[in-house]
Homo-oligomer: A and B are copies of this chain.
Amino acid sequence: MANSRSGDKLLDRVVRILESFTATEPRLSIAEIADRAGLPAASAYRLVDDLASQGLLLREDGGVRLGIRLWELANRASAARDLRQIALPYLEDLNQLLRQHTQLSVLHQDEVLILERLSRPGAAANQAHVAGRLPVHRTSMGMVLLAYAPAHVLSGYLARHEEAVVERHGDIRRVLAEIRRTGHATFDGFLDDTTTGAAAPLLDRSGHAVAAMGVVVPRGSDALPAVVMALMTAARGASRDLQAMGDPRISH
């Protein structure tokens, strides 16, 4: 048990070190890593060394980065990869036809986790980054994921975030029922005043959302009805492929 206990602690420290790297700060000094991971400098130094010798981190002139081996191990067998592979041709279709950013996301630990994002030079502003997170109740993708979530996932989320959700949406169950009735969600200016987000669900065989596809358009765009129709069409195609593959699933 002593072994398990120290193992658990070490893993915890390793995860905290990996967590200290972000999209905007992908390269850190050991002092920064120690600070962010809440570790004494000496342990941070030793652990970075151990992780680098496994290829999980990479020591460069300018500091430390995540290693390519970590990327490889995480990507070659992940459910995220399967989902992305299925959705990518449909995302590309939307990106080409609509000339706007298109994205794929899942509900994970009460947030929207972006699995893929195809950008478009000159398209509307967009806050999403691959492997980034967005708040569920403030994105159209999040609202779609919630509307089509299994009952226990929805009630758990609402219990944990009731105040914020009600403040934003009022009668949330009515809002979600309307999303299910129309098969999509559109919301204006949730994360950015100048844009409208639209989203549609990728459904498994039981009718629950495995993922959501979203498009961001300039607010007030006349093209919104056409964008929504394209999005729902693409999401249906991807849902069919997903169901044929036997429902790759991401835990909530």
Contact = CB atoms under 8 A, between A and B. Distances in A.
Contacts of A47: 7
A171 interface: no
Interface stretch (A129-137, A148-156, A178-186): A129-137
Contacts of A88: 118
Interface of A: 4, 6-8, 10-12, 14-15, 18-19, 21-23, 25-26, 46-47, 50-51, 53-56, 58, 60, 65-82, 85, 88-89, 92, 95-96, 106, 108-109, 113, 118-119, 129-132, 249-251
Given A11-B51, A250-B68, A131 B25 contact: no
B60 A249 contact: yes
B50 A77 contact: no
Contacts of A251: 58, 60, 67-68
Contacts of A109: 55
Q: Which 3 A-B pairs have the closest CB atoms?
A: A74-B74, A76-B131, A21-B77
Contacts of A55: 109
Contact of A7 (B10, B21, B26, B80): B10
A73 B4 contact: no
B4 A54 contact: no
B11 A50 contact: yes
Contacts of A66: 73-74, 77-79
Given A23-B76, A65-B79, 9 more contacts: A6-B6, A10-B10, A18-B73, A68-B106, A69-B108, A71-B78, A72-B108, A74-B74, A74-B75
